[in-house]
Chains A and B, each alone.
Chain A
Amino acid sequence: MLKVRVIPVLLLRGWGLEKSIRFDTPKYVGCPINAARVFNGKNVDELMLLDIVATREGRGPQLDVVRQIAEESFMPFTAGGGIRSVDMMWELLQAGADRVVINTAAIERPELVREGADRFGSQCIVVSIDARARRDGGDEVYTRAGTRPTGLDPVETALHMQAMGAGEILLTSIDRDGAMEGYDIPLVRQVADALHIPLIACGGAGSVGHLAEAVYNGHAAAVAAGAFFLFYGPRRTVLITYPTDEELRRAFRAEHVRIKDLAPVVDRAQARL
């Protein structure tokens, strides 16, 4: 049976890692190379590295960092940030990434997704969609590291990206980012149910129970998190952790029985373990 992928997401600024709350108030976390080494040692399912200032600075992701991480890891490694062309994807793959993440450029010029998928195969192209709740209900897609509203609907955007050849969608709730209070289940579920490609839920995980919730209530194929794997305790001390195989197996199995039978989206507070 296919295991649910549990993916740490590292946010890169320069040569340092950061973690934000609601895409704001970044906190310095540490060295990306060391962090990647620790995650590799913990046998993580996949590691994701996103250069969060690349688009703003009009460049691609820091290839040196990608190269150094790839150099000593034997896990699936996905990277992105500022990707605007097929050549930039190729450079990133050459630097050692297995898959590329495209966000702003994919939404501003969807043909880029088609070009990448034609060249490298769909399984290589992950489109990242950041969404934030509208005041009047519904959600809206934001680009440029959550700073620019697009007026686009996340479900429509995800379907468009799928039609262009994206192999997977990384859906991040800006409102839940870093809060560690659980994923935005209705948002995740809406988008996941519309797609026939896998969806990675991101934004809000604070416990193993949250991960299972995103899968069984949100119908996500995979789950990603930042703060959950980087911080420990109420003071958010930096400590890299990753659930053991046994913990994950137990959580996913328990949730499978308890939540799948409930079928409709249950209230998050009730479902929390």
Chain B
Amino acid sequence: MYNGSHVGPAFSVPEVRRTLLMIAIVNYDMGNLDSVARAFRQCGAEAVLTSNPEEIERAAGVVLPGVGFFDEAMRNLKEGGLDALLTRRALEERVPFLGICLGFQMFTKHSEEGDAPGLGWIDGVTRRFRFDDAEEPLKVPHMGWNELSPRKDSPLLEGIAPDSCFYFAHSYCVSCEQEDAVLATTSYGTEFVSAVARDNLFGVQFHPEKSHRAGLQMIANFIGMTRHA
């Protein structure tokens, strides 16, 4: 009978010095956001899941997570007046800012998923995967573990082995006009933008909080940037 005696050590967590700087994880009622906060705490950050403008104002870093529908997400952000605040923090005050999955897609100008304009921080759009004309149509959503092809160096990728896989779950993907902002691409029928990095602005299509060790390393890297910022 299994009695728990086989419990191995939890996998080692990248070392990050405990910081007192707070990271705001923007809570706008979209999907399982708690897991993002937990992963940040696991990596040593003081992470707060919040929709409170004051807390977002004070944060040393901001994370925009999200799972769900583009339009609903944009509407929720606007209703709380958060879109303007986030834009100021990201583009003017230049705090380290990380968008995850739908949060990353919202960086673009618009998405085929809906009619609402996106935040428009990067010169790109969010499109649906389309394989109708392909000889062997791939399945949509793109679900599971896939690799990154880095296009440039970034502190976000530091210490991450080149063959590391990350967890994806999405039907829409970003195409970016701004070549120098592309941090990594991933291949799924087509080569899509799986990560961007421009100054303080980072966006990833995959879920680092669900990507075991490599994901936690990436989160630790982001936390490191909030300390140096």
Residue numbers of A with Cβ under 8 A of B are 1-5, 28-31, 34-35, 37-38, 40-43, 45-46, 70-72, 74-77, 93-94, 96-99, 118-124, 167-168, 195-198, 221-222, 230, 238-240
Contacts and interface: CB of A to CB of B under 8 A. Distances in A.
B80 interface: no
Nearest to A241: B6
Given A98-B210, A121-B67, A5 B6 contact: no
B69 interface: yes
Given A41-B8, A41-B10, A123 B143 contact: yes
B162 interface: no
Interface in B35-68: 35, 38-39, 42, 67-68
Contact of B34 (A28, A72, A94, A124): A94
A195 B139 CA distance: 8
Q: Which of A2, A34, A94 has the most CB atoms of chain B within a 10 A radius of its CB?
A: A2
A124 B142 contact: no
B144 A2 contact: yes
Contacts of A120: 31, 67-68
B207 interface: yes
A197 B131 CA distance: 12
Q: Which of A37, A38, A41, A121 has the most CB atoms of chain B within a 10 A radius of its CB?
A: A121
Size category of the B interface is 35 or more
Interface of B: 1-4, 6-11, 31-32, 34-35, 38-39, 42, 67-69, 102, 137, 139-147, 165, 167, 169-171, 187-188, 207, 209-213, 215-216
A41 B9 contact: yes
Contact of B2 (A30, A40, A222): A30
Contact of A221 (B1, B7, B139, B170): B139
A239 B2 CA distance: 7
B184 to A, nearest CB: 15
A245 to B, nearest CB: 9
A196 B25 CA distance: 34
Contacts of A38: 6-8
Given A1-B147, A31-B4, A230-B2, 19 more contacts: A2-B145, A2-B188, A5-B143, A5-B144, A31-B3, A41-B8, A70-B38, A74-B35, A74-B42, A74-B209, A76-B167, A94-B34, A98-B35, A123-B170, A123-B171, A167-B169, A198-B141, A222-B143, A239-B2
- Which 6 pairs across A and B sit closest by C-beta, in order of nearness? A30-B2, A34-B4, A238-B2, A3-B145, A198-B139, A41-B8
Contacts of B213: 43
Contacts of B169: 76, 98-99, 123-124, 167
B212 A43 contact: yes
B61 to A, nearest CB: 19
